[in-house]
Amino acid sequence: MERELTDSISRSSARPVPGDARLRPPCEAACPIHTDAQRYIQLVAENRPADALAVVRETNPLPQVIGRICAHPCEEACRRGGVDEAIAICNLKRVASDGAKAAGMGYEPPQAGLTTGTKVAIIGSGPSALGAAHDLALMGVASVIFEKQPEAGGFLRTGILNYRLPKEILDEDIDYIRRMGVEIRTGAGVGENVKFEDLAEEYDAVLIAVGLSESRSLPIPGVEMPEVLLAVPFLEAVNAGREVPGLGKEIIVIGGGNVAIDVARSAKRVSGGKVTMVCLEADHEMPAHDWEVADARDEGVEIVCSQGPSAIVGAGKVEGLQVKKCESVFDERGRFAPTFCETELSVIPGDTVIISIGQMSNLSFLPENGPAVNERGILIFDREQCTTTRRGVFASGEVVTGPGAAVNALASGKRAAIAVARYLGVDVNFSHEPVAIAGVPAGVAEKVKKAPRRKMPARDAGERLKDFGEVETGLGVVDGRCEASRCLLCGGGARYSQTKCIACLTCVRVCPYGAPWADKDGLGGIDPDKCQACGICFTQCPAKAIDLTVLSEEDIAVRTVAALKDSGGGEVEFGCWYSQSRVAPGAGFVSLPCTSRVSVWLLLNAFEQGAQKVFVSVCSEDDDGHFVHGHRQTRAAVTDAQTALEEAGIDPATIELRMEPELKCKKAGQ
């Protein structure tokens, strides 16, 4: 049974942030599919992985896949990067799906009801196609995916190796989409055993999402030799577990992108020999992600930078790659325009060359009457409407966007789904682009409690080379919650009502971070870039003009009632989800981001709701805890509430403040 989602941590409606409803955490703004990462991270921190996965699924049709292989632009944008290190957002997505799976929750798809009576043919089954099919199903539009390979997944299956993305994980994500009512026909190659024209006739719309399925080669002498391979067929063969003919023991991989890294790492596993990557770019310019390069180096892949291939040498069979020094890769306008020193030549010895310098699409299936391609053979495409030159034929993914991360292809597919659905008469709009909250100002960053980013555990390099088993093993619950608790809850803090504000300046005076402000006329605001969501202003505002965006007073009151119901015995504990500790294990638990947001009213309200005993926890003896002056406010609230109870003739000891160190501190032996 899915747990009922009751409060602002769980609700799916987009939360407003003071000033501008589009103002959102930068992770969400940077994410191509605008996943509300903050919300699922907080749910991971609360140890509610199934709810977290549900949040991921709101925007992400491939949560397990993307939780493993995402290029995570969210982490580059993460405001925590301005404090110490960015949150490991991608890894936390995996914590959510792993945790939900362990609990047997979150893998039953909604029965969308394909109510529109329309049907779309989707050519290709990569992330863009799957994303489109998934979202179309949610909008009540049926679709059939046509995949020429024996199994669905596109490049996710043929191009990404098991050690990064286990096949069973991909299968599960695809199966979820299939169980939503999406039909997937494999072994159905459009242009081979299926005619494009038949699809155009039989279906209400066609979506071309064929990706870039063919490797580019190089026009250099020697490429015709049998030991010269291309990246895509090589990866396909390895992925399918087939023998790769021509593969030797001293392999040279040409290219410096992420696919080249995958080629090199798989070649290392398949051959057990020496693998050298050769790329035009200098080390810092390599298009592959830093972490991918580091993984490859860990596994013994040698990388030769700033060298351009000029010929594959050998008498009858490959003996090496002749390279020339590459002096620069990009021109002054940043365009790809490599220049070489033609006299500085050398030969890298090797018996196999795999060319991995880029991919292109195969559009040979398109009929004469369109959709049209331009003079370079690229599909003519309207980025806004996702349309081609032929009515009813749409396109998405790398075939139109060019190479990029899987999540970008997914985003393109989701956008195409909206375009197709609108074309089919479904009332749906493209959503507004969110705007990111500004970075953490230096004066605030220095006040934020530092915490190191949790490293993803991985199998030992020597061990993992022996097979194609998954390299990364997952953060697990404790480390996952620790990592999630580093999230700054951007935009989740104070929101104030201008109508109720009496301009008393209390918030301005009590905020440890300088977020609230007021001008001479008493007009003011609370800067979302400075606010840390500690809740102190909320507890102190005399006019109740301030509430909290994530877990409002009402939400906490609702949680209080639920906790009392859970406990059965009238005991409730207000505790911090960051600390992972409980001071009264038998009591119902009101989980909060630090007890600094517990107001006197919330404590009295617990008694009004039937509590006989209330525990409030802090995780250290000091004034601060997770937030500056956080514990000072917790203690003040407890003292004031005890006084109020005593005045009302109730034993003040029925509220008890207890200290319990954070579990992660205990774990670290502090």
Partner 1 sequence: MITAERKKFEEIRRMTDGAGNLLVVGCNTCVAVSLTGGEKEAGLLASQLRLARRKDGIGGSVETVTVLRQCENEYLDSISEQVEKADMVISTACSIGPQGLVFRYPTKAVVPAMNTNMMGYVKEHHVWTEYCVACGFCIIAFTGGICPIARCAKTLLNGPCGGSQGGRCEISPDVPCAWQEIYDRLAALGQLDTLKRILGPKKWNASSSGGPRTMRLEGFKP
CB of 247 or CB of 572, closer to partner 1: 572
337 binds partner 1 (CB under 8 A): no
Closest separation in Å from C-beta 646 to partner 1: 9
Site for partner 1 in 584-643 (CB under 8 A): 600-601, 604-605, 607-608
Task: Find, among 232, 292, 230, the residue nearest to 265 by Cα.
Answer: 292
Helix, strand or coil for residue 63?
A: helix
Compute the distance between CA of residue 667 and CA of residue 670 in angstroms, rounded to an integer. Answer: 7
Peptide bond into 542 cis (omega under 30): no
Q: Which neighbouring-strand residues pair with 359?
A: 215
- Annotate 275-325 with DSSP letters as a single string: EEEE-SS-GGG-SS-HHHHHHHHHTT-EEE-SEEEEEEE-SSS--EEEEEE
Pick the binder of partner 1 from 241, 374, 647, 670 (CB under 8 A): 647
Torsion of CA 398, 401, 402, 408, to 10 degrees: -60
For 497, other C-beta atoms within 10 Å of its C-beta total 12
CA–CA gap between residue 185 and residue 146 (Å, rounded):
5
Looking at the Cβ atoms of 144 and 541, the one nearer to partner 1 is 541
- Alpha carbon distance 149, 366 (integer Å): 18
**Does residue 102 touch partner 1 according to CB under 8 A?**
no
* Rg of the chain taking only CA atoms, in angstroms: 28
State both tokens at 54.
């549900």
Burial of 336 (0-12, 13-18, 19+ CB in 10 A): exposed
The reply to whether 519 sits near partner 1 by the rule CB under 8 A is: no
CB atoms under 10 Å from CB of 642, counted, come to: 20
Instruction: Tell me whether residue 112 or residue 600 sits nearer to partner 1 (CB atom).
Output: 600
**Nearer CB in complex with partner 1: 316/542:** 542
Beta strands across the sheet bearing 142-147: 183-186, 142-147, 119-123, 205-208, 393-395
> How near is the Cβ of 622 to partner 1 at its closest, in Å?
21
Residue 519 or 647: which CB sits closer to partner 1?
647
**Cβ 608 to partner 1 shortest distance, Å:** 6
Give the nearest distance from C-beta 522 to partner 1 in angstroms: 10
Site string for partner 1, 428-457 (x = CB under 8 A): ------------------------------
Q: 345 vs 510, which CB is nearer to partner 1?
A: 510
Closest CA to 612 of 670, 568, 666, 661: 568
Are 322 and 345 a contacting pair, CB within 8 Å?
yes
523 binds partner 1 per the rule CB under 8 A: no
Residue number, 347 or 505, with CB nearest to partner 1: 505
Minimum Å gap between C-beta 590 and partner 1 is 17
Does 561 sit near partner 1 (CB under 8 A)?
Answer: no
Give yes or no for residue 317 binding partner 1 (CB under 8 A). Answer: no
Residue 554 is a binding residue for partner 1 (CB under 8 A): no
**Binds partner 1 (CB under 8 A): choice among 542, 568, 585, 669:** 542
| CB of residue 502 to partner 1, shortest distance in Å | 5
Q: Looking at beta carbons only, is 52 or 507 nearer to partner 1? A: 507
Stretch that binds partner 1, among 252-260, 324-332, 378-386, 501-509 (CB under 8 A): 501-509
Rounded Cα gap, residues 611 and 564, in angstroms: 7
Of 374 and 499, CB closest to partner 1: 499
Site string for partner 1, 461-500 (x = CB under 8 A): ---------------------------------------x
CB 542 within 8 A of CB 502: yes
Is residue 103 a contact residue for partner 1 (CB under 8 A)?
A: no
Distance in Å, CB of 631 to partner 1, minimum: 19
Q: Is 669 in the site for partner 1 (CB under 8 A)?
A: no
Binder of partner 1 out of 11, 544, 666, 667 (CB under 8 A): 544
Can you say how many angstroms the Cα of residue 345 is from the centroid of all Cα atoms in its chain? 43
For the chain, how far is it from start to end, CA to CA, in angstroms? 38
Q: Does 327 bind partner 1 (CB under 8 A)?
A: no
504 vs 558 by CB, closer to partner 1: 504
| Least CB distance to partner 1 at residue 402 (A) | 57
Contact between 513 and partner 1 by CB under 8 A: the answer reads no
**Least separation in angstroms between CB 499 and partner 1:** 10
Beta strands in 523-635 (DSSP E): 524-526, 546-548, 571-576, 588-592, 613-618
- Give the footprint of partner 1 on this chain (CB under 8 A): 500, 502, 504, 506, 509-510, 541-544, 600-601, 604-605, 607-608, 644-645, 647-650
